[in-house]
Amino acid sequence: MKSEKLYPKIINFIKSKGFKELSLNPVINIKYIRDEKLKKYLFTFKDNKTNTTFALRPDLSLMSLIEFSKTKNKQKSKIFYSGESYRKNKNINSQIGFEIYNSNKKDDETEIINISAKIFENVIGKKGDISLGNIELFSSIIRQLGLPKRWEERLIFSRYNKKYFKEILERLETNKSLDENVELDKKLYIKMKKFDPNHIIANRTVKEILERFEEKIYFQPKPLNGKRSVKIIKEFLKIKCPIEKAPLILSNFFKKNKLNIHISKDYFPIKKNKIGNLTVKYNSAEVPEVEIYDGLVFSIRTKKSKNNNRSIIGGTFNSLSDSLGLRKINATGSAIYLNK
């Protein structure tokens, strides 16, 4: 079934579950784009009157949170949105999303996953697997390895970039410094100190770039016992199992490695291995493309292809509003990409 025919079917199904439509602005102030990797692919333009740089929206989930924050609504709210997102490295993405804002219960995560599964199986008409992970678990492990704080932060934030994450692990395993080319950074730093701090380069201000250089140049702590840390990280990321077995397998892993992390039987919002005909699995390596999630993450894809053109991703993002300078909004949601 073509995307244009799926659109009304999916939207009508979401509406039937009590979600209300939220209109989104087609452009975004780039101050809200914190993902350095994403900044490279923005379509940007400048408002000369206000000296503000804007971009065509690269993702609708981010826009939805910004627009909802303007409503001042502090009650639990079920909203949905639809439209296109734009990035230089991709075709125009047609996206439908639905989210629960001011969420405070694991039941909301369960509802989002169940609705996503029904859309995938019954509306889109596909057979597939649901893969569940948790960004918070990975972060908790990293923070218990006894690494310097900059190493902790780099490992957590590089998790979204597979190539760079692999490089960081290699440096950690061999107890090397976190950053290479420090001398070259010093020369660039001295040169850029003469620039206007508000000048924009590659969608970042000179001031932001200089701050990054200062971190790299003056704070170069080396890790202790990097081999042990990398061994634990790699073993954790290999854990993949039916969701019913996940709490026990994870608990045994944490106990074996003397990590003070407790996983209860109710930790995951889905506890059974099946939702309809979809198989539910836990995957420690589950990482979404969009760098907004900080807890639960999930994806639904067909069994035949990892890169099918109708995938669903989602999860929980309770800290995103804080990082954007917005009022506190706990949120969980799902995004459907119809032409991915």
Q: What is the DSSP string of 225-284?
A: SHHHHHHHHHHHHT-EEEGGGHHHHHHHHHHHTT------TTSSS--SSEETTEEEEEET
Winning range, highest mean pLDDT, from 25-34, 150-159, 197-206, 250-259: 250-259
What CATH number has the domain bearing residue 301? 3.30.930.10
**97 and 151 both lie in a single domain:** no
Write down the pTM of the prediction: 0.83
Range of the domain at 175: 144-228
37 phi and psi, to 5 degrees? -65, -40
pLDDT tens-digit series, residues 37-75: 778 889 999 988 898 999 999 989 999 999 999 998 999
pLDDT tens-digit series, residues 75-123: 999 999 999 998 887 777 889 999 999 998 889 999 999 999 999 998 8
**9 and 124 both lie in a single domain:** yes
**24 and 101 both lie in a single domain:** yes
Q: Look at residues 212, 228, 244 and tell me which one is the last residue of a structural domain.
A: 228
**103 and 195 both lie in a single domain:** no
Q: Look at residues 228, 263, 290 and tell me which one is the last residue of a structural domain.
A: 228
Q: What percent of the chain has pLDDT over 90?
A: 55
**240 and 219 both lie in a single domain:** no
Higher pLDDT, 188 or 266: 266
* Mean of pLDDT values over 117-135: 90
**256 and 299 both lie in a single domain:** yes
What is the number of structural domains in the chain? 2
